[in-house]
Amino acid sequence: MLEVKNLNKSYGKNQVLTNVNLTLEENKIYGLLGRNGVGKTTLLNIIAGQIVKDSGEVKLHNQDVFENSKAMEDICIVEDRGAAFGEQNVNRLFELAKIMYKDWDEEYKNYLVSQFSLDTKKKYKKLSRGYQTIVGLIIGLASRSSLTIFDEPSLGLDAVFRYKFYNLLLGDYGKNPRTIIISTHLIDEVSNLFEDIIILSQGEVMIKGETHMLLKKANFLSGKEENLLKIIDSKKVISREEFGKTIILGIFDDLTQDEIHDLKSNGVEISQIPLQKLFVYLTEKDTVKVGI
């Protein structure tokens, strides 16, 4: 569906993306994670045809996305566009979106406006930061684009509106499947949305894999050090904390059923590492690329 091959991008001497390779399937929700400055927004804007790449390929349905009006009809990117939207009133922005996106659903747009109690007569710049975000979210959802990208979709939103958006997205995705990329720092809030995870580190893809498989490999082991020595020697340890005689290890590796049985029989407690903590541990350690 979407193919990114050997993608490179730099700004002057600053290499932002280095040899990025990705393949995204149809009708999946992807989480794009990475620390500030690793190139997430640059990557998303290149995929959406908003920024020129230095080298490499980005193809949607086997068509190059850059300067390709047909491909652009199938891609909607939702990001902060305060400067571009400022003087327009909200109704006008929706009219423009209706022209831009060939699968636009006007009835669903109206439903979303009512759900968020959005005043569409106001100028975009007169809206609060949260409602400016909501305008973008409505455009993204109502676009029904086969590739829809949400770059930090929760900016300025309170908890009520954030969870309303997540529920609306999941509900509509169930009825109208498409490929969705969500880039966010509120990882634990949306981890249940992600079918696949992509982690960028230092401008490269560190990890790409199915969320449940990634989390299956990520576990805390809590027990006495003598009962964890074999694990320390044979597994990828990504965190370690000590509380008196108890050690809590974070590992990112496979555990066999025999290993699990032996650990538990020696009083070691096993619990899953939440996605946000796993992300922090992996990117702190500059862990090498992992395929899942």
Supply the pLDDT for residue 82.
65
Supply the pLDDT for residue 285.
57
Is the pTM higher than 0.85? yes
> For residue 195, how many other CB atoms are within 10 A of its CB?
14
pLDDT per position as a tens digit, 212-240:
999 999 999 999 989 998 888 889 999 99
Supply the pLDDT for residue 69.
80
Return the percentage of the chain with pLDDT > 90, whole number.
82
Question: And the tokens for 220?
Answer: 């805390």
pLDDT per position as a tens digit, 138-175:
999 999 999 999 999 998 999 999 999 999 999 999 99
Question: And the tokens for 119?
Answer: 């005043």
What are the chain's domains?
2-210 (3.40.50.300), 217-283 (3.30.70)
Distance from chain centroid for Cα 285: 20
Q: Distance (Å, rounded) from C-alpha 168 to C-alpha 210?
A: 23
Supply the pLDDT for residue 54.
95
Q: What is the DSSP letter of 215?
A: H
Contact 285, 250 (CB under 8 A): no
Q: Distance (Å, rounded) from C-alpha 245 to C-alpha 114?
A: 57
> For residue 80, how many other CB atoms are within 10 A of its CB?
16
Contact 221, 272 (CB under 8 A): no
Length of the chain: 292
Q: What is the mean pLDDT of each run of 10 residues along the chain (292 residues)?
A: 94 94 96 93 94 94 85 88 76 94 96 96 92 95 96 93 96 96 93 95 93 96 91 90 93 94 94 95 63 34
Supply the pLDDT for residue 290.
39
Supply the pLDDT for residue 66.
82
